[in-house]
Structure 1
Amino acid sequence: MTTGYPVVPPQVDLANLEHEVLAFWREDDTFAESLRRRADAPRWTFYEGPPTANGRPGTHHVEARVFKDVFPRFKSMQGFRVDRKAGWDCQGLHVEVGVEKELGVSGKQAIEAFGIAEFNARCRESVQRSTAEFEQLTQRMAYWVDMSQAYRTMDASYIQSVWWSLKEIYDKGLLYEAHRISPYCPRCETALSDHELGQPGGYETVVDPSVYVRFPLTSGQLAGHAALLVWTTTPWTLVSNTAVAVNPDVEYVVATDGSETLVVAAQLFDTVLGEGWTIESRLSGRSMEFWTYQRPFELVSFPKGSRVQSPKGSRVQSPKGSRVQSPKPEAHFVVLGDYVTTDDGTGLVHQSPAFGADDMAICTAYGLPVVNPVRRDGHFEDSVGLVGGQFFKHADT
């Protein structure tokens, strides 16, 4: 059977064919021509989420760019003029840590001793080392993007645009001041992004101590008679204990062994207390809201008037069913938290809002203060009794 199609050779040199197509696109200026032909078409602009050129490109860059390339090509096929602007990510901890390794220094103090200006210059140099290899990869994988006018996050014009954006957000009343829980590196003395935390070495399996702590009640129907029993795997945060959370819909028991009386979740009674203990009474978590207790350590101050309102513009709300009109001690009372479970522990959770996202959310809803006695370098403030000057994890013991 005869057709009008050219005969396909039995052996196709795919690598050579690739270079022929790329050469044609380059000589024909195909990418630029696709934009010129749509000069008056509606625009759909693409800014590349930029790679960092302080290391050689890898297969993950190819994968990411394939996904990114799909959308501009699709919009082009729909008739849009699609300007595609490349970029370079020039800032971030991954850049700085890489330069630290090259210089043989470690940590913020070592960088300051080396000289911040010189360190910044080394960082600027490092993020431009592999741009040629990235540009070659861009061409070889047929990723159409304008590399000739790529933006760089370290350029003053780019930084100014970020400040402009922040001002616009502020002027619209969309910016407010509040606390936020973020991953943090005491060595670098900086917050970490989720991406940085996900790098190799970001997570390790470690063994942490756990402790049971009594919180004697000072108000409510059990004041002077019983204590809340709390279990925690972060003993160092007890220094800044602010509240104890219970689940409003969980049943709790008041139990005694004849010498002391403790409050735990009914479902965990056998596991936590067990033989030798008897149940005196039962009560709901909701009924304990706002009961006050004696905190375990009097090492940091909670100044009078430290209770605050949720910041204007935030979405923090008091938990469902909370008695809004309530006694208002500065801190150290029972709060309601739907996230409290009876999977382990005692069903009562120690709250230190400076060191936990759940703690922060619930304590902010109750207007409780955020007390952080730990310095930027991960050591307790020298003025804190018992643990002053210690690295926070060493304070566990």
Structure 2
Amino acid sequence: MTNKNKKYYPEIEAAANFPNIEEKILSKWASENTFKKSISNRDKSKEFVFYDGPPFANGLPHYGHILTGFVKDIIPRYQTMKGSKVDRVFGWDCHGLPAEMESEKEFGISGRKQIQDFGVEKFNDHCKESVMKFTKEWEVTVGGKKGWVDFENDYKTMDKNIWSLLFGHSSNFGIKD
């Protein structure tokens, strides 16, 4: 009896459809909670925390973010391969000119005087709201392309609890106030 017509392996396309393959892998990881399991199955291991970011939250991710994300992702993956429990905490930079410039553009104002006339508190409140406008797009792009990141326990530089951490570390760099 001959086995020449029997197929041992599934047929595959001659040219790989990489976006399709990527989608299948990401879907499988999501449905099986692979990222969370990679942390929880090491509960008793040495802990390593990787604080990722922070990018400005009021803009869409671009290739520069993805590239640096790939490079930074080496560190938590290496620690995971060494057997450590690795928390990957994503952060958002919610301060500074990008947030202010976006709000100025939206309100059609510019400069200190116009902000004061508009109302500093009202302007600041809008800046706080606007910086989180693109977080879902970041989750889709960064979560899928760059690697595994915990968006559920993220940090934001506008949260008061992060400042104690930042100022605590600043003493190591000779910063007094």
* TM-score > 0.5, shorter chain as reference: yes
1:145 aligns with 2:160: no
Letter aligned with residue 132 of structure 1? K
Distance 1:122 1:176 in 2: 31
Distance 2:71 2:175 in 1: 33
**Equivalent residue, structure 2, for 1:41:** 45
Letter aligned with residue 104 of structure 1? G
Tell me, yes or no, if the aligned pair for 2:58 and 2:98 is still in contact at 8 Å.
no
Deviations for 1:138-182, whole angstroms, at most 9, x for unmatched residues? 23215101000111111122234445x27x83xx9x4468xxxxx
Tell me, yes or no, if the aligned pair for 2:155 and 2:162 is still in contact at 8 Å.
yes
Shift of the alpha carbon at 1:106? 1.9
Q: What secondary structure is seen at the aligned counterpart in 1 of 2:47?
A: coil
Shift of the alpha carbon at 1:7? 5.3
Tell me, yes or no, if the aligned pair for 2:47 and 2:85 is still in contact at 8 Å.
yes
Distance 2:139 2:175 in 1: 38
Tell me, yes or no, if the aligned pair for 1:50 and 1:89 is still in contact at 8 Å.
yes
Q: What secondary structure is seen at the aligned counterpart in 2 of 1:97?
A: helix
1:59 aligns with 2:66: no
Pick aligned residue for 1:70 from 74, 81, 90: 74
Deviations for 1:224-255, whole angstroms, at most 9, x for unmatched residues? xxxxxxxxxxxxxxxxxxxxxxxxxxxxxxxx
**Equivalent residue, structure 2, for 1:368:** none
**Equivalent residue, structure 2, for 1:80:** 84
Q: How does 1:232-247 map to 2 (within 5 A)?
A: none
Tell me, yes or no, if the aligned pair for 2:54 and 2:93 is still in contact at 8 Å.
yes
1:27 aligns with 2:28: no
Letter aligned with residue 55 of structure 1? G
Tell me, yes or no, if the aligned pair for 2:51 and 2:91 is still in contact at 8 Å.
yes
Gaps of 5+ in 2: none
Distance 2:176 2:72 in 1: 33
Letter aligned with residue 46 of structure 1? F
Tell me, yes or no, if the aligned pair for 1:51 and 1:88 is still in contact at 8 Å.
yes
CA 1:142–1:160 in 2, change beyond 3 Å: closer, same or farther?
closer
**Equivalent residue, structure 2, for 1:115:** 119
Distance 2:111 2:143 in 1: 38
Deviations for 1:50-94, whole angstroms, at most 9, x for unmatched residues? 112212221111112111111111111122111100111111122
Distance 1:82 1:8 in 2: 36
1:156 aligns with 2:160: yes
Letter aligned with residue 121 of structure 2? A
**Equivalent residue, structure 2, for 1:101:** 105
Percent of residue pairs identical: 36
* CA RMSD between the two structures: 2.3
**Equivalent residue, structure 2, for 1:15:** 19
Q: What secondary structure is seen at the aligned counterpart in 1 of 2:122?
A: helix
Distance 2:152 2:164 in 1: 21
Distance 2:165 2:145 in 1: 31
Distance 1:102 1:176 in 2: 37
Distance 1:139 1:149 in 2: 14
Tell me, yes or no, if the aligned pair for 1:85 and 1:145 is still in contact at 8 Å.
yes
Q: What secondary structure is seen at the aligned counterpart in 2 of 1:45?
A: strand
Higher helix share: 2
Deviations for 1:193-236, whole angstroms, at most 9, x for unmatched residues? xxxxxxxxxxxxxxxxxxxxxxxxxxxxxxxxxxxxxxxxxxxx
Deviations for 1:79-115, whole angstroms, at most 9, x for unmatched residues? 2111100111111122112212222222222212211
Distance 2:11 2:61 in 1: 38
Letter aligned with residue 50 of structure 1? P
**Equivalent residue, structure 1, for 2:128:** 124
Tell me, yes or no, if the aligned pair for 1:22 and 1:142 is still in contact at 8 Å.
no
Gaps of 5+ in 1: 178-397
